[in-house]
Amino acid sequence: MALKKTDQEGYTFTLFYNFGDQFVNSIKTQERWDDYYPLTYQPFVRFDRWVPDTDARDVRTDIWTIGFNYFFAQTTKLQVNYNITRDYRSDGGVYNNDAFLAQFQFGF
């Protein structure tokens, strides 16, 4: 019995804008540690598409992420995301699975 090879595809597009002063010139950081002051704000929108079988393109998962990153310093941030997920299934149904996510990172 031969196994059928399944071709898959995935796409990602991210649009963001930074404003603030996260990555400062070296003159500003002389004699200071990495995490001290620079604040940066980063709103973003991201689109992901996953097609598990390219022979059945109507079966896919689309995820839109609307998010915001708040950098307290160069290696400390708070991220807040809202994911809008749509699963398009072979039975013609569309299943929604939206999620709100928040995370705090330090030392990345």
Determine how β-strand 94-96 pairs with β-strand 60-73: unpaired
Identity of the residue numbered 79? Q
Residue 10: band (very low, low, confident or very high) from pLDDT cuts 50, 70, 90: very high
86, 87, 91, 93: CA torsion to nearest 10: -20
Rounded distance, CA 53 to CA 6, Å? Answer: 6
- Residue 107, number of CB atoms within 10 A of its CB: 7
Identity of the residue numbered 101? L
Inter-residue contact 32 to 71 (CB < 8 Å):
no
Query: Which of helix, strand or coil describes residue 97?
Result: coil
- The model's pLDDT over 38-92, given as tens digits with 9 standing for 90+, comes to 688 999 999 999 999 888 888 999 999 999 999 887 778 899 999 999 999 989 8
The domain limits of the chain are 9-22+37-106
Of 85, 89, 81, the closest CA to residue 105 belongs to: 81
Model pTM score: 0.77
